[in-house]
Amino acid sequence: MFDFFKEKKDYLIKNISKKSFFEKDFSINPINSFIFLFFSTIGFILYFYYCERITNSEEFVIFLLFPIFGILGIMIGKWEMIVKINFIGVLAFFWWKGFNSFYFIVPVSFGVFLAPIFQQTKEWERAVILRFGKFNKIKGPGLFLILPFTDIVNKIVDLRIRATDFVAETTLTKDSVAVTVDALAFWMIWDPEKAILEVENYTDAVVLSSQAALRDAIGKTTLTKLLEKREEAEEEIRKIVDKRTNEWGITIQSIDITEIIIPQHLQDTMSKKAQAEREKESRIVLGESEIELAKKFEEAAKIYKNNDTALKLRSMNILFEGLKAGNSTMMVPATILDNMNLGNFAGIQALSEVKKSKKNKK
C-alpha cells in the first residue's frame, strides 16, 4: 500500500549497520550535560534570590519542566527543535510569572544554546562539519567547538579498519558450474571528506562494488582454478574494488573468500575423483616399493651366492625368528636344513623319537 511499509533489500550484506531514523546536527557528551546543569542551577538561584520562594510542590514541578524540555531538545540533537522548545517554554513562563521569569529562563536558555557547541570525538573518529549547508572542515579527535545554528556535525567517520562480510548470489563459473561464494572485505576510510561528500552511503557502495567484482571474477574463472588458486582471484577482486573506492577516499586492504558452496552432486563427483586419485597413488607407491624390494633381494642373493657362511647365518636367523615367536611346530624348506647341514641330524632325531614311543607302548 505504502512504499515505506515494504521490506528493503539488504543485498545479502550480513553485518551492515542500521541507519538512524534522522540525522542529528550535533552529538551529546558529558560536557554538554555539565554546562546545561550549571546554567540551570544559576537560573534557580537567581530566581529564588530576587523573586518569591516556591511554597508548594506544584510550582516546583512546573519549574522543573523547563529544564527537562531543554534536556530533551539537546538529546534530540537538532537546532530547530531546541529553538522551538525554548521559544514555547519562554512564552509559557512569561505568561505565568511575568518579567520575574527572566531571572530563570534567561540562564537556562543560555545553557541550552551554549551546551551543544562543545563537541568531542574519539581518537579514531573525525567529524565532518557543514556551515550553512556547505562543507567547512574536518575536526577531531578530542574536544572542538562549533557555532550554534550555523554549524552541523553532519557525520562522525570511523577511520579504523572495518570487516564486512557479504554473499555473492549464485553465479556460473567459466565452465558453467553454479556456485555461491561468501567473502570478507577489509577496508578503511583515509579521506573522510570524500567519503561523505562523494557517495551517499559508503558502506553500501563498498560492499555492492565488492559483490559485483566477485561475480565478475567468478564468471571469468573455472571452478578448479577458483578452488586451487583462490589467492589470485582475491587479489584480482581487491584491485578492481580498490580502483573504484579510491575516488571516495576509501581503500580496500584485502578481500578474502571464506566459503565456496557448490552443488551436492558435484561434491559427490569430486569426492569420488579424489578417492580414485588417492587409490591410484597408493598403488603406484606399492608397485615402486615392490620394485625396490626386488632389487634389494637381488643384491642379497648375489652376496649369499658367494658367501656360504652368510647364507647359513641367514638360515639360522630365519629359524630363530620362527622359534622366538613361540611356535611349537614350524615348517621350513628342506634346503635351509641342507644349507645348515641339519637335514640328516633332524631325520635321525625324529627316527629315534619314533622308536622310543613304540617301546613305551609295548
137 inside domain: yes
Evaluate whether residue 7 is within a structural domain: no
Q: Same domain for 54 and 135? A: yes
What does the pLDDT read at residue 1?
37
Question: In angstroms, rounded to a whole number, what is the distance separating the alpha carbons of residues 7 and 23?
Answer: 21
More confident residue, 235 or 66: 235
- Report the distance separating Cα 27 and Cα 4, nearest Å: 27
CA distances from 40 to 37, 153, 257 (A): 5, 25, 57
Do 183 and 246 lie in one domain? The reply is yes
Domain for residue 119, yes or no?
A: yes
Cα 108 to Cα 92, 195, 308, distances in angstroms:
14, 38, 118
Q: Up-side HSE of residue 156: CA atoms within 13 Å toward CB?
A: 15
Residues 245 and 283 placed together within one structural domain of the fold: no
Scanning the structure block, which residue is given the C-alpha cell 571474477? 217
Q: Which residue has the higher pLDDT, 193 or 345?
A: 193
**What residue has cell string 565456496?**
260
Determine if the peptide bond prior to 148 is cis (ω within 30°): no
The total domain count for the chain is 4
**Domain containing 249 — which CATH number?**
3.30.479.30
Whole-model pTM above 0.75?
no
The CA distance from 250 to 265, in Å, is 41
Answer yes or no: do 149 and 29 share one domain.
yes
Q: Where are the alpha helices (DSSP H) in the chain?
A: 30-50, 57-76, 79-97, 102-114, 192-197, 202-219, 223-228, 230-245, 264-305, 308-324, 334-339, 343-361
pLDDT in tens, 108-132: 888 888 989 999 999 999 999 999 9
pLDDT at 80 over 80: yes
- The residue among 156, 185, 219 that closes a domain is 156
CB-CB neighbours of 176 under 10 Å: 8
Residue 47 placed within a domain: yes
**Tens digits of residue pLDDT in 241-280:** 998 899 999 999 999 888 888 877 766 666 767 777 777 7
- Could you give the 3-state DSSP secondary structure of residue 155? strand
- 289 within some domain: yes
- Reported as a single tens digit per residue, the pLDDT across 292-343 is 877 777 777 777 667 666 666 666 666 666 666 665 566 666 665 565 555 5
Highest mean predicted confidence (pLDDT) among 48-57, 185-194, 219-228: 185-194
Angle subtended at Cα 269 by Cα 268 and Cα 275, rounded to the nearest 5 degrees: 90
Pair (32, 131) in one structural domain: yes
Mark whether 34 and 141 lie in a shared domain.
Answer: yes
Q: 553454479: which residue's cell?
A: 178
**Same domain, yes or no: 226 and 292:** no
> Cα 169 to chain center, whole Å?
19
Alpha carbon distances (Å) from 243 to 70, 230, 328: 48, 20, 83
Per the CB < 8 A criterion, the answer to whether 82 and 73 are in contact is yes
| For residue 10, pLDDT beyond 60 | no
Contact, 304 vs 329, CB < 8 A? no
Same domain for 25 and 117? yes
Q: What is the pLDDT of residue 310?
A: 67
CA nearest to 223, candidates 165, 184, 181: 181
Same domain? For 146 and 110 the reply is: yes
Do residues 138 and 31 both lie within one domain? yes
> Pairing mode, if any, of strands 118-121 and 250-261?
unpaired
Cell readout for 208 is 555492492
Q: Which domain range does residue 270 map to?
A: 265-302
Residues 182 and 129 grouped into a single domain: no
> Per-residue confidence at 8, pLDDT binned at 50, 70, 90?
very low
Same domain, 203 and 239: yes
178-189: strand order across its sheet: 162-172, 178-189, 250-261
What are φ and ψ of residue 222, in 5° steps? -75, 160
Picking from 130, 156, 182, the residue at the C-terminal end of a domain is 156
* Torsion sign, CA atoms 130, 136, 142, 147: negative
